[in-house]
Structure formats: C-alpha cells, structure tokens
Amino acid sequence: MITKEVNDWVKKVEKGNYSSWDIMEEFANFSKYLTREEMRQIEKRLKQYIKK
C-alpha cells in the first residue's frame, strides 16, 4: 500500500514543485521501503503524467 507521504511526493512531482535533485533525494529516502508492486504503481502513474 502506497503511503500518504509517497502520494504527496508524486503529487509534488506532477505539479513541478521539486528540482530534479530534490525529487531523487526524497525518493531515495523512502524507496527502500516500497515493494516491487508499489514501485510499478508509481512508475505507471508518473508515465501517465509525462504523456499529458
């Protein structure tokens, strides 16, 4: 299950509220706790955002 913090991070990335460095730094902080399926969900959501 994706946490509120991860959802908030994805929303901030979608809104462009982060620099590239900040995006990766924060992702590195929580990525070790994600399952493979959660990583796929995040990837799918961000790919949909990029296509827009």
d(CA 16, CA 11): 9
* Residue 24 backbone dihedrals phi, psi, to 5 degrees: -70, -35
pLDDT, position 52: 61
pTM: 0.79
What pLDDT, in 10s, does the model give residues 1-52? 788 999 999 999 988 888 889 999 999 999 999 999 999 999 999 998 877 6
**Cα 15 from Cα 28, distance rounded (Å):** 19
